Amino acid sequence: MNYLHDNVFLTTETAQRLYHETAKGLPIIDFHTHLPQAEIFNNHRFENLWELWLKHDHYKWRLMRGCGIDERRITGDASPWEKFEAFASIMPLAVGNPVHHWAHLELQRVFGIEQMLNLENAKAIWDDANKQIAEKDELTVQGLLGKFNVELVCTTDAPDSDLSTHTEIDQSEITTKVYPTFRVDLAEDTTSLYDLTALKKQHDYFHENGCRLSDHGMPNMPDPSSAAFDVLNHIAKWNKEKGWTMQLHLGPQRRVNESMTAITGADSGFDTMGSWPQTAPLIKALNAMQNAGTLSRTIVYNLNSNESEPICCALQNFQNSEAKGLVQYGPAWWHLDNVRGIREQMDILTSLGAIGTSLGMLTDSRSFTSYVRHEYYRRLLCQYIGNAAEAGEMPNEPEALNQLIADICYHNPKNYFNWA
């Protein structure tokens, strides 16, 4: 049987039916990405496979470093071919890693290349892919969004962004909806972050331009007595007034290799899981928002797997009738975006919350080929639900299971966020 064959992860008949009849064809709602909106508007055509596939993918860079590739052939001054060749050379070492899965799904879905990438066939695959990139309109940025059936994308935008490119996209004939996200932590080093008048003005401006989400990455939730919490709570208040959703990305320890980060820059693969407690500070902050009347639609992404169950359990104490799954235990994120992490997220949410309220998956990516991660997630979801149904652990009622899969993968994220 071929690697990543048509029924990969789908180990029961019910799982196979759920995926092929329901999940596979659903549009993608990608509500958290780092995609460059200028490339979307300009319908960028990539020069080669390295630019499309490796240039912005720090997941691949981390794996290359772990396999002994020198930095020159990762983020340095080596040629695009040398960097691709180096990546190809490590593939046999990385079997089972999610990057190995994603890379080969990308080769299959984007280029129709079924071969296992390695050093011996790297040049042939490089030439084949580059020829397709040069000749096929479906491999431009807008072509790829259409190929993967992406209905909506949310980019990540600093609060002082002028959103001019978003305006151009909105006024164009681009079929994929592209909305901004109000990412406040990107401005932590600027005085404007704590200028609430200026911040409120930008929040209003983002709303006028279609934004319905704020996003906040932080090592931990700030204490309610802190200036940082005061800013966060003001944003929560504005979000609630406008019907926005607040995303809380908790737990990363940034730039742990300081000497390498100084060379390669931020977001180059030198961030890791924080190991400190998350649940108690989160409860304290959510309780303060609840008491202030500012708590509303919120998604909590956790990066410390030791805290996953306590966090999911804690969030159930802050639900109400405003929305199903008002305070979300978010998708497996970043270093937890793998087979084990995704399965664990599903199992914890099923055990401590309601899996039917889940918002499905997101890419959190800078790469336009990363939409295979939605397929990856959907296969694992159908496996999880299908296997449980066949084991008698969930009702094995075809129509109800179809609806459950469709809701998680598409209808829930489409309906949870208040996009115009």
Phi/psi at 335 (5° precision): -70, -10
Q: What span, in angstroms and rounded, lies between the C-alpha atoms of 339 and 383?
A: 11
Q: What span, in angstroms and rounded, lies between the C-alpha atoms of 265 and 258?
A: 10
| Cβ neighbours around 365 below 10 Å, total | 21
Model confidence, pTM: 0.96
Q: What span, in angstroms and rounded, lies between the C-alpha atoms of 108 and 114?
A: 6
Provide the pLDDT for residue 372.
97
Full set of structural domains in the chain with CATH: 45-136 (1.10.2020.10), 212-338+348-354 (3.20.20.140)
Provide the pLDDT for residue 186.
44
In sequence order, what DSSP letters do the residues of 71-130 get, joined into one string? GGGTTSSS-HHHHHHHHHHHGGGGTTSHHHHHHHHHHHHHH---SPP-TTTHHHHHHHHH
Angle at 47 between CA 45 and CA 49, to 5 degrees: 105
Residue 340's nearest CA partner among 378, 311, 380 is: 380
Residue 66 tokens, joined: 């772990």
Report residues of the chain scoring pLDDT below 50.
186-192
- Structure confidence by residue, pLDDT tens digits, 228-244: 899 999 999 999 999 99
Q: What span, in angstroms and rounded, lies between the C-alpha atoms of 77 and 321?
A: 55
Mean pLDDT of the chain, nearest integer: 95
| Exposed e or buried b per residue across 66-83, where buried means at least 16 C-beta atoms within 10 angstroms of its C-beta | eeebebebbbeebebeeb
Give residues with Cβ within 8 angstroms of 384, minimum separation 6: 343, 346, 347
Provide the pLDDT for residue 227.
86
Provide the pLDDT for residue 194.
65
Provide the pLDDT for residue 195.
86
Q: What span, in angstroms and rounded, lies between the C-alpha atoms of 317 and 123?
A: 55
Provide the pLDDT for residue 193.
54
150 class by beta-carbon count within 10 Å (0-12 exposed, 13-18 middle, 19+ buried): buried
Which element (helix H / strand E) includes 227?
helix 227-242
Provide the pLDDT for residue 187.
39
Count H helices, E strands: the chain? 18, 10
Q: What span, in angstroms and rounded, lies between the C-alpha atoms of 87 and 313?
A: 41
Q: What span, in angstroms and rounded, lies between the C-alpha atoms of 86 and 24?
A: 33
Which element (helix H / strand E) includes 387?
helix 372-390
Cα Rg, the chain, nearest whole Å: 21
Provide the pLDDT for residue 246.
98
DSSP strand pairing (272-273 vs 252-253): antiparallel
Report yes or no: 387 and 9 within 8 Å, Cβ to Cβ: no
Q: What span, in angstroms and rounded, lies between the C-alpha atoms of 200 and 361?
A: 30
Residue type, 121: N
